[in-house]
Amino acid sequence: MGQTKKYRLLPVVGLLTWVLLPLVMVAGLSGVSRSLTLDDDKVEVWVPVGAADQDIDRGVDVILQWSPTVDIVSPAWSGVVQRVNVTGGASLSSGHSIALVDGVTRIAAHTSIPFHRQIDSGLRGEDVRALNEMLRQLGHSHAPDDAATWQTTRGIRQLGAALGAGSSVNSFDPAWIVYLPYEGYVVGSVQLAVGKPAPAPGETILGGTARITSAELVTRDSVAIPPSSPSEQPGAATRPTRIEIANEARVTADPEEAFQIAGVTYELDETRSRLAVVSLPGVEGVIAADQVVVRGQLVRQALDGDVEVPSAGIVTDATGAQCVRVDPDKPRWVAVDIRASRDGLAVVSGSLSIGEKLQVGATVEPTKCS
């Protein structure tokens, strides 16, 4: 008979387990200690407000757009290559020495237009303007516009002396300059060799590497990556030629947020939705050559007055404002401003105290939060 009573109790025990187990699981998932208040009519879950004393971060993806690989070709050289002054991996800017050919140092320069002719005093043109600007950047005498004046000639003589062409030259020789497609060009390979004849005009002398041209912040997993394009060079990295980003996928960082990849901070540009140009080389150094998506975080410091609450405890009223229900003895609504949320928790600001009880899954709704 006692055994029969024991079996009759089993359904009751099972029913209680089915009711209480979800409540216990809710309490465990919130990340802070939980207390349950039960009454005869309904079950209410009240939890303490937690401290938000660590950095707040939200995950984003970074979509990388890459430039095509650009090679550098030789101008109209003649003679023998006597010295090579550049190696693979070097970053080239205007004024960087490339090689010594027939006793004259040849330098790289990024100009508005490649030089194609000898320039003498009295000439005008876009290439003359580019020459004056290059002379200015290199610290030599120059004219202010597109005319080759006595100031330009003086600068040409200064440049000729610096390159080993002599200080009595009166004309600019375009063979002194190797056209640089952009500043910061990274050399992938070098085709010049000491002792060999100078390459013919238009032959590749430096093989380039692809560069990141933009890095845009988007919502995690929101952008479809198209198939990679076949590479024209065996063994070279393959990437999609262009990745389209919908406006709704774009993310703009708040003023107080910093962008990080693997804990390293990178500067954002003025739009706060892209990495600054100065950040791109640093990103290239920490990713794979064919990578087009990078995981990152927008990080901000928790401010005084910020607290942590379960996201399930936040209610939105008809006006779109958010609030939470506090104090099981005398329930009231407190307006909050959500600063960040993740993993079922939200960091909020508002008139809340750490340890104060907050209701999760309120069964009543506020008339108005604020």
pLDDT value, residue 21: 44
Per-residue pLDDT tens over the stretch 263-272: 899 999 999 9
Give the 3-state secondary structure of residue 96: coil
271 and 203, same structural domain?
no
pLDDT value, residue 41: 52
Per-residue pLDDT tens over the stretch 88-103: 989 899 999 999 999 9
- The answer to whether residues 343 and 315 touch, using CB atoms and an 8 Å cutoff, is no
277 and 186, same structural domain?
no
C-alpha distance from residue 301 to each of 7, 24, 221, 268 (Å): 57, 32, 25, 17
Residue 147: inside a domain? yes
182 and 109, same structural domain?
yes
Residue that is last in its domain, among 300, 319, 349: 300
pLDDT value, residue 307: 87
Pairing state between β 258-261 and 264-266? antiparallel
150 and 30, same structural domain?
no
Per-residue pLDDT tens over the stretch 305-350: 788 888 888 898 888 889 999 999 998 899 998 877 767 888 888 8
| Residues in a beta bridge with 308 | 50, 347
Sequence-separated contacts (24+) of 164-170 with Cβ below 8 Å: 164/100, 164/103, 164/104, 164/105, 165/104, 170/120, 170/121
38 and 144, same structural domain?
no
Residue that is last in its domain, among 177, 208, 239: 208
198 and 84, same structural domain?
yes
Q: Residues 26-32: what's their mean pLDDT?
A: 41
Give the Cα separation of 127 and 157 in Å (integer). 18
Domain count, the chain: 3
Radius of gyration of the chain (CA): 34
Domain with 222 in it: 58-68+211-300
Residue 1: inside a domain? no
194 and 134, same structural domain?
yes
